[in-house]
Homo-oligomer: A and B are copies of this chain.
Amino acid sequence: MKNFKMLIAYDGTRYKGWQNQKSTDATIQGKIESVLGKAAGHPIDVIGSGRTDAGVHAKGQVANFYIEDTFTAETLLEYLNTYLPEDIAVLSVEEVEERFHSRYHAVEKTYQYRIHTGKIPNVFERKYLYTYTENLQIDKMKKAALNMIGTMDFTSFCGNKKMKKSAVRSVYEITIEKKEQELIITYRGNGFLQNMVRIMTGTLLEVGQGKKKPEDIADILAAKNREKAGYTVPPQGLTLLEVKY
């Protein structure tokens, strides 16, 4: 058997996320497994670097899978892009060493959240944007973002209340850029909890609007209580940009 690593882009609009515990039919992982299963003639397990929520997009999701030696990276790339739906694309396929694991070996992830702040809608990119037209104090958002950087327990920013494993994660960098009619927030860290980027974004927006202060972030983190953080922004503004190994 060979182990292949894939780089995947998807428009998550119509999917229940990368992976869904009940049904795989409406998931990105499920669609890829279905195409590979037909190629192989038997079920293939696709291991993603991590889940993305329903409606979240990716420009650089990584996954790996094992398949018979007769397959090459080139034929798999062509086969996948021929049979996958038009909102999922495999950008590259490469053979990797047998023990490579997309989830266990990931060391860094970058997510981007795009907020449309203008009053004129962007009709062409609307499915990849969250519209938020209230006035925002961006300098305060930047201060608050600095307080979210470090290796800390992010329980207050975790959407899964039944989480039993460690909620300690390292956030390396958060950048906030104003670009024409958009505010783009980019998060780089060793990993993110369920909904974590969306809750961090909602909290930063509340700071920008004056509902919370940059200094509140330390208390929110210390509380280890989801109720203390801001709201969860909708999924469509979020894109997984890159996974590093």
Contact = CB atoms under 8 A, between A and B. Distances in A.
A123 B81 contact: no
Interface in A101-130: 119-124, 126, 128
A128 B91 CA distance: 19
Nearest to A92: B120
Number of copies: 2
Contact of A123 (B89, B121, B122, B126): B89
Nearest to A88: B123
B9 A87 contact: no
A121 B87 CA distance: 8
Contacts of A90: 120
A117 to B, nearest CB: 14
Task: Report, as a range, how many residues of chain A touch the other chain.
Answer: 20 to 34
Interface class of chain A by DSSP: mixed
B124 A128 contact: yes
Contacts of A180: none
A63 to B, nearest CB: 15
A86 B119 CA distance: 12
A124 B78 contact: no
Contact of A120 (B86, B87, B91, B126): B91
Nearest to A59: B124
Interface of A: 9-11, 57, 59, 78, 81, 86-91, 119-124, 126, 128
18 contacts: A9-B123, A9-B124, A11-B123, A11-B124, A11-B126, A59-B124, A78-B119, A81-B119, A81-B120, A81-B121, A86-B121, A86-B126, A87-B123, A88-B123, A89-B121, A89-B123, A90-B120, A91-B120
